[in-house]
Every structure is written in structure tokens, then in C-alpha cells.
Amino acid sequence: MKKIVKRTLGVAAVAGMVLVSSCRTPADVAYIQDAPRDSVMEQRGHFAKSIQPNDLIYIYVESRTPEATVRFNQETNKVAVTNGAVLNPNTSVNGYLVNNDGEIVFPVLGRIKASGKTHAQLAAELERRLVNEGHILDAVVTVKLLNFKISVLGDVARPGVLEVPGERLTIFEAMSMAGDLTIFGQRKNVTVIREENGQRVVGELDLTSKEIFNSPFYYLHQNDVVYVEPNKKKKRTSEQDNVHLTYITTGVSVLSMLLSAYYYYLLSKRIN
């Protein structure tokens, strides 16, 4: 009976500790805490970004004379070119891969510098060249990103690589796609790692402040890495767990050695 009571008290104590550790105030987990409800704020952030090497971009040329666009569109062009090589006519090519020099190879026009330009700027350049060089008199060009993806790491429900349909993604949309932050994720210190023009830029976001809307990292870019750091309580718990595990492992090893020694002692006495 005493053993049952002790076990019950032990289970209750553990449950109480878990309950206390999981209780956090709304101030710890609420987003955009300082924004008055029913308020209007000017959004100064933008999501337009420049094209980077290894981007896969979709280019489509339109005209009131459809036959004039055939050789410029991969859907209708029988011979597609990429990185300077002519592909098999039966090969399906989806988009233009920007090479390490920041270039694409476009039918008829040849090599074109794409990196460093926005999609709108590249589209305008292609339209200008198609018209000025006499290929299409009323060219309208659409440029889109095909391989938009980001990585989300740390204290979120579903960390991993997120494939994004489209070209516009906010940090809150990314957190939603990753299943939201866990109760232990730091909402005031979310790190975004971004590569721009050959440089690695590190930014921080405070998900609890309305100032996040003015951050250049509010809109995520291609290949961004988002890291949600665990809070101090989880770090302490992790360190304590490691210490406890070390103690338990050492204790088991010592107990095993003592039992082995005792066994051999009894065995030697029986033989003698």
C-alpha cells in the first residue's frame, strides 16, 4: 500500500511540473502585441526581389500575332536552349535556369544578364529587344519565379523546406505553413538568413511588434533560412536533461560493475 501511495505521489509531482512548465502568459505567445485593434498602418515593406543565380524562371511572350511568338516560348518552341547547349527537341524544359554568371540563354536573343534585375525589369528588357530588333512589334513578356523555396528550422511544429507556389510570402505565412511556433519558440528573436549579391545577410524579426511590417525581412526571399530559437526555459530543461542522463548512465554502469563483482565473489566462495 505504501508503495502505491509513493508511486501516485510521484506521478502527481511529475504531472504538476509539466503543467507549470507549459503555462505561459499571453504576453509570451501573442503576436503583434503593440498594434491597436481596428487600426490602419502604412505598409512600407515590399516583396520585389532581384533575380539570383540558380533561380528557375518562367518566361512567356505574348502578341496579337501568336505565330510570331512560337520560337520564343518553350511550350511551342521545338528546340529549347539552356546554358548554351541545344536540348533534344523531345525534351520538356520548364523554365530558364540562371547560371552562376547570372545569365540565361533565350531563344534568338542569346545570352542575357538576368541576375540583379527584378522580374519586371527583365520582362521590360526582353520586350524592348524583341520590338527594337524587329522580332515582334507588340511583345508582352511575363517573367515569374518557379523554384521559390525557403527553409524553416528550430522550434516550429513542422521544420523543413517549404515549396512556395507564387512569389510572395510573409514571415507569418511561412510560420503558418510550418505549423506555427511551439510554446517554447522565441517570438521576439526570429532569425532570417539571406543571400544577396554574393553576401550572407542576417536579420532579426520580433513577431510581437508591429514594427515587423517595416522590416526588409517581413517578405521572405528565395532560399531564405528562418530559424526560431528556443527560449531560455527549454535550454535549461535540455541542459538538465543531459545532466540527468549522464548521472543515470554513470549510475547504471557503477551498479553493473558492483553486481558483477558481487556475483564473482559468490561464485568464488561456492567453488572454494
Is 218 among the domain residues?
yes
Same-domain check for residues 141 and 63: yes
Same-domain check for residues 156 and 226: yes
Same-domain check for residues 158 and 196: yes
Same-domain check for residues 61 and 85: yes
Same-domain check for residues 99 and 162: no
E strands, 197-247, in order: 199-205, 225-230
Same-domain check for residues 165 and 141: no
**Sign of CA pseudo-dihedral 86, 88, 90, 94:** negative
| Final residue of a structural domain among 129, 145, 161 | 145
pLDDT in tens, 137-193: 999 999 999 999 999 999 999 999 999 988 889 999 999 999 999 999 999 999 999
User: By the 8 A CB rule, do 175 and 156 touch?
Assistant: yes
Is 12 among the domain residues?
no
pLDDT of 14 higher than 50: no
Residues making up the chain, counted from first to last: 272
Same-domain check for residues 110 and 177: no
Q: Summarize the confidence of residues 41-52 as an average pLDDT.
A: 71
What's the gap between Cα 240 and its chain centre?
30
Nearest alpha carbon to residue 164 among 42, 244, 55: 55
Q: Could you tell me which residues are beta bridge partners of residue 193?
A: 202, 225
Q: Summarize the confidence of residues 106-122 as an average pLDDT.
A: 94
pLDDT in tens, 59-89: 999 999 999 999 999 877 655 444 444 444 4
How is residue 14 written as a grid cell?
A: 511529475
Same-domain check for residues 140 and 152: no
Is 19 among the domain residues?
no
Same-domain check for residues 196 and 123: no
More confidently predicted of 115 and 251: 115
**Cα distance between residue 20 and residue 167, in whole Å:** 42
What does 86-142 look like in DSSP terms, one character per residue? EPPTT----SEE--TTSEEEETTTEEEE-TTSBHHHHHHHHHHHHHHTTS-TT-EEE
Nearest alpha carbon to residue 164 among 182, 186, 144, 193: 144
Is 68 among the domain residues?
yes
pLDDT of 128 higher than 50: yes
**Cα distance between residue 184 and residue 156, in whole Å:** 9
**Cα distance between residue 192 and residue 202, in whole Å:** 6
Dihedral angle at the C-alpha atoms of 160, 162, 168, 173, nearest 10 degrees? -60
**Cα distance between residue 57 and residue 49, in whole Å:** 13
pLDDT of 50 higher than 70: yes
How is residue 64 written as a grid cell?
A: 496579337
Is 245 among the domain residues?
yes
Nearest alpha carbon to residue 130 among 75, 182, 72, 83: 72
More confidently predicted of 149 and 27: 149
Task: List the CATH number of the domain containing 64.
Answer: 3.30.1950.10
Domain of residue 87, residue span: 56-145
What's the pTM value of the predicted model, to 2 decimals? 0.65
| Final residue of a structural domain among 145, 177, 210 | 145
Same-domain check for residues 162 and 226: yes
Confidence of residue 46 (pLDDT cuts 50, 70, 90): low
How high is the pLDDT of residue 206?
95
Is 45 among the domain residues?
no
How high is the pLDDT of residue 31?
78
Confidence of residue 93 (pLDDT cuts 50, 70, 90): low
How is residue 249 written as a grid cell?
A: 548512465
| Final residue of a structural domain among 115, 145, 175 | 145
pLDDT of 4 higher than 60: no
Q: Could you tell me which residues are beta bridge partners of residue 56?
A: 97
**Cα distance between residue 180 and residue 223, in whole Å:** 19
Greatest alpha-carbon pair distance for the chain in Å reads 109
Is 47 among the domain residues?
no
Q: Could you tell me which residues are beta bridge partners of residue 202?
A: 193
pLDDT of 241 higher than 90: no
Average pLDDT, the chain: 79
Task: List the CATH number of the domain containing 201.
Answer: 3.10.560.10
Same-domain check for residues 159 and 217: yes
Is 5 among the domain residues?
no
**Cα distance between residue 181 and residue 155, in whole Å:** 6
- 3-class DSSP assignment, residue 238: helix
How high is the pLDDT of residue 231?
78
Q: How many domains does one find in the chain?
A: 3
Same-domain check for residues 158 and 224: yes
